[in-house]
Amino acid sequence: MFRARVSLVVILLGVLAARPAPAESRAGELRGVRFENAAGRDWPAVMQTLKGNGFNAVFPVVGAAGGALYVSKLLPLADGGTKGRDELAEALKAAKQNGIEVHVGWRSWSLQGATPKTLKQYEDDGRLMRRADGQQLNWLCPSEPKNRALEKGAVLELVRRYDIAGIQLDTRLPSAEVCFCDTCKEQFGKDTGLKIEQWPADVTKGGKYADRYENWRQGLQTSLVKEISAAARQEKPALFVSAAVGGDVETARRETLQDWPAWVEQGLVDFICVVIDFPDRLAQDIGLVKGRVPVYAGIGVPAANDPTSQILLVEGSRAAGADGFSLGLRGDLNECLPALRANVTAADPNPMPHGGPPTILALSGPALLAPAGSHRVQAGKKLSVELQVGMEGEDLAADDGAAAAADILRQARNARRPVGGFEPESGGDTALTSQLSGRAVAETPGGNELVTLGVFTGGMTVKSTFSFVAPKGPFRVAIYGTAQDPGGAPRGFVVRSMVFTGVEEAPAPVAETTHDKLSALMTKFVKQVKPEDVAGLNLTAQISITGGGGGEWWVTAKEGKVTSGEGLSKKPDLSISCSAEDALALSRGEMDPSALLATGRLSISGDIGLMARLMPLLKRMAG
């Protein structure tokens, strides 16, 4: 618990103290609230509160295989539900009146809300998960054909019967310790052709087929997402299919058997919501997605119903490059949302990042660095952005590595309509965009505009090329535009690329030169500190620089004076660590300290009370 709390405080202090003051709000982002328990809510009041506080989306969990809080022909009434009351219908009615998108949360394999009678029925049918020791869990086995058919059928029932904006799949196993039932044994052998002699010893940790079994269980998840995504999109082309995913990719793959990067790469989802109790890895996850789909931060415990933590995490997620956020709240919305309204949700959030027309971006020019497709570009050199907005057509002409670079930029696959725009009798989203206009900009990951690249206008397809000098530090290309459909109202859209980093060209440093630079950096840092900066401060910090040319330095603040030296301190109050490359990049202003904190490349541990005083001093290292 202490370690987790330290991690959160360090990151949040870094966001505030080590980066420029963020804008109070931003446009072009999703702002949502996720309700894990949607039973008995006053939906008109909920939607009015969301709208009044600058939110534009809601993610209610209204059902799982255990039971539904809506009228279902496939599922029984969930425990806690009210007979005759349709929570989803009530939520949708209120949402439409307030312009709020509704993305129904669906927790795969879960028997949340199941009554004792329902659980007994599943148990009698042999459809529940089992641990390796045979212990039974109240979760559905993921390989059981009846369970898979139920999961798919229940989601499609929602899609067919309700005018929802999207479905958000929370498809994961409760742990790596499941499932090892007889059905899984049979299906695994059938799918792989392997003969299992000792079950489950052969497939548990250390077993000869353990890796194969792990991959197979990941495949069960991916195949379900694929089946649901394809069927749901066929039923309603305007529907958004998204996924709630774990922030640590390897943990998600290993512990909950959720290979979500494969879902993104295969085009199974329109956006992802990365659950972050602490945003340590959010920037890495955003980099992994490579701009293929928008990434939203799922902010939950321990920030639930704590406005200060929520505000800081929103700012941190923006700095990392997230396209929006969703709060997992507990209790009364009015306990938190007004505080956010006064700070990070003050402005209109629209347009939605997941609502744009098909868009292709391609990079070219001398700023591109080898290898082609790298997220780094050379600051100060020309970078050209070739864009195509509208109906998908021929690929843009490759020039100076554009074809290789294009794969790492966003390719929005489908045109979408805002909530309420789909009419079942129309047969789907068949209208074509007749007029497009907008502007292209280079902006920081947090949405602050660096330079306007140019404007565009045209019919169903627009092609334009803009050139600019690549900036130093992290940036992305964004398109803010308006699409006019025949007979419809204009609708705004935003499309963003992945995050790039502009770096200065320099010869590869040798160990001695790097060490000398780091020593000079420590001296410079000490000279910049003013007596008032350390008044009343008494601490010793150990600074560990890793990699070639690195070393150990200590810094002491005592009685208004700061001294430093090389070597190890016996009892440091704080310990700070980063690589030599990142330390020098930080000193040149090429790296945002908050980005290093968010990705875990800069770590701080020790006395929490001294951290707040230290962070403004660390900021002096940048530039």
pLDDT at 105: 96
28 pLDDT tier (thresholds 50, 70, 90): very high
Show the domain range for 408.
359-503
| Residue indicated by tokens 């020790």 | 606
Please tell me whether residues 515 and 494 are part of one structural domain: no
Please tell me whether residues 71 and 165 are part of one structural domain: yes
Please tell me whether residues 396 and 519 are part of one structural domain: no
Task: Please report whether residue 384 resides in a domain.
Answer: yes
**Structural tokens at position 592:** 């945002």
340 pLDDT tier (thresholds 50, 70, 90): very high
Has residue 20 got a pLDDT over 50?
no
Please tell me whether residues 498 and 526 are part of one structural domain: no
Task: Pick 174 or 279 by higher pLDDT.
Answer: 174
Most confident region among 197-211, 277-291, 525-539, 569-583 by mean pLDDT: 197-211
In the chain, % of residues over pLDDT 90 = 50
Task: Please report whether residue 14 resides in a domain.
Answer: no
- Mean pLDDT, residues 276-290 taken together: 81
User: How open is the CA angle 183-187-192, to the nearest 5 degrees?
Assistant: 150
Give the range among 97-101, 131-135, 149-153, 541-545 with minimum mean pLDDT. Answer: 541-545
Task: Pick 508 or 315 by higher pLDDT.
Answer: 315
Please tell me whether residues 468 and 489 are part of one structural domain: yes
Domains in the chain, number: 3
Please tell me whether residues 378 and 396 are part of one structural domain: yes
Task: Please report whether residue 231 resides in a domain.
Answer: yes
Q: Hey, how many other C-beta atoms are within 10 angstroms of the C-beta on 488?
A: 13
- Mean pLDDT, residues 544-551 taken together: 78
Q: For residue 315, which of 347, 285, 343 has the smallest C-alpha distance?
A: 343
Mean of per-residue pLDDT scores for the chain: 82
422 pLDDT tier (thresholds 50, 70, 90): very low
Please tell me whether residues 462 and 602 are part of one structural domain: no
Q: Hey, how many other C-beta atoms are within 10 angstroms of the C-beta on 535?
A: 11
The percent helix, strand, coil of the chain (3-state, each to 5) is 30, 25, 40
Task: Please report whether residue 531 resides in a domain.
Answer: yes
What's the pTM?
0.75
User: pLDDT by residue (tens digit) across 363-378?
Assistant: 888 988 866 556 889 9
CATH of the domain at 565: 3.30.1050.10
Q: Alpha helices of 426-575 — where are they, by DSSP H?
A: 511-528
pLDDT at 332: 83
pLDDT at 290: 86
In the chain, % of residues over pLDDT 70 = 81
- Mean pLDDT, residues 551-566 taken together: 81
Task: Pick 248 or 180 by higher pLDDT.
Answer: 180
Torsion of CA 345, 350, 352, 357, to 10 degrees: -160
